[in-house]
Structure 1
Amino acid sequence: MFHKKISNKVILLLGSNLGMRSANLEFAIAELKKSGIKIKGKSKHYESEAWGFEGESFINQVIITSTSLAPLQVLDLAQKIEKKAGRKLSKSANYESRTLDIDILFFNEQIIDEDRLKVPHPKIHERRFTLEPLYEILPEYKHPVLLKTIAELKKNCPDKSPVTAIIQSITK
């Protein structure tokens, strides 16, 4: 008997505001691929001011991935890649600068509420730097809790800070 391999659609937000920001995002994608995660789509890179603290501006990108990993396995892998990129985890609850941040925005249409992981990411609808790249590649994707499309969430986002798509090099 053949077992069909489970394929989970996982939407990630990559971010960096330290060092070679765009290169840090490319590093994350390369590491995800090395770990067997398939990249099914990706937005342009977007630049925005630091959110929730004073710091250098961020480069962010949304990627659509496919994996057989479970949610906490994806979280563990993301944290391992962040650490490999030089991210120092702080005990502070405050936002701070980082070489690499990988957030799980959506995991299939699942709703996950665990100590270590909340999916959909609880602040998606409040953050223009997340909604702009999401809107580029998934405008009609419906948030499984808020039951609104990304287009609707972007239109009603309370965050009015500027988010700009930037030209980036083409990578394979």
Structure 2
Amino acid sequence: MLRLVLRPMLADDEVLLLLGGNVGESHEYLREAEEKLARATGSVIARSRDHWTEPVGFKDDRLFLNRALILRTEKAPIDLLEICLNIESEGGRIRTGSGEYGSRTLDIDILLYGNRVVESSELQIPHPRLHERLFALSPAADICPDALHPTLHFTVLQLLSKISRS
């Protein structure tokens, strides 16, 4: 069983993901997603503790369960995105296409991929709102507090500290 492991920085083949959900059996959805990610991409080398957080961007009484993972993979970023979207769909995620936030069984976000910067219509790495999201930074800080945001040039812990003070 994986334990909480601190990783100083992300290697080129390491990806920081955020898994979350607030509909149904969230623990089970995250467990299944983690297993599928490991099978499809390589290996999960670190896992944060679970964080229960308030929904952001919409009203709902249900808290979100969030967990960060570090994967080691040779998958290209766009291929990893496709895998994540398929796992979300298999987990019951329904995307409305409206761009509005809402409750969901499973959400998987690619937060960082080594020091890569990806800008395309399908994918942005680092995640464009990572630095604004306490629910993403808190789990990430559990396992890679010193990982450097490649465009903002702050560590995960520094970003968390900034958002916590505001």
Contact 1:105 1:121 in 2 (8 A): yes
Write out per-residue CA displacement over residues 12-60 of structure 1, whole angstroms, 9 at most, x where no aligned residue.
0000110001111101011112214200101011000111001221000
Output the TM-score relative to the length of structure 1: 0.86
Quick check: 1:86–1:99 contact (8 Å CA) kept in 2? yes
SS at match of 2:121: coil
Alpha-carbon distance in structure 2 between the residues aligned to 1:143 and 1:106: 8
8 Å contact from structure 1 (residues 126, 158) kept in 2: no
Instruction: Name the larger-Rg structure.
Output: 1
Deviation at 1:159, TM superposition (A): 8.3
- Larger fraction in helix: 2
Gapped regions of structure 1 (runs ≥ 5) = 1-6, 161-172
1:141 to 130, 147, 157: 147
Q: Is the 8 A contact 1:12 1:102 kept in 2?
A: yes
Residue 47, structure 1, aligned to residue 52, structure 2:
yes
Return the structure number with greater relative CO, CA threshold 8 A, min gap 6: 2
For residue 165 of structure 1, what is the aligned residue in structure 2?
A: none
Partners of 1:126 and 1:159 within 8 A in 2: no
1:37 to 25, 39, 42: 42
Name the CA shift for 1:151/1:95 in 2 (closer, same or farther; >3 Å). same
Q: Structure 2 length normalisation: TM-score?
A: 0.89
Could you tell me which amino acid in structure 2 is paired with residue 141 of structure 1? A
Counterpart position of 1:65: 71
- Cα distance between partner residues in 2 of 1:98 and 1:26: 15
Amino acid at match of 2:153: L
The alignment covers a number of residue pairs equal to 154
1:8 aligns to what?
Answer: 13
Pairwise CA RMSD of aligned residues? 1.4
Q: Which runs of 4+ in 1 moved over 2 A?
A: none
Specify the alignment match of 1:122 in structure 2.
Answer: 128
The one-letter code matched in structure 2 to 1:83 is S
For the 8 Å contact 2:66–2:135, the answer to whether it is kept is yes
- Supply the distance in 1 between the matched residues of 2:158 and 2:127 (Cα, whole angstroms): 17
- Residue 97 of structure 1 is matched in structure 2 by 103
Larger deviation: 71-80 or 27-36? Answer: 27-36
What is the percent sequence identity of the aligned residues?
34
The structural deviation recorded for 1:138 is: 0.9
Matched residue, 1:27: 32
| 3-state secondary structure, aligned to 1:155 | helix
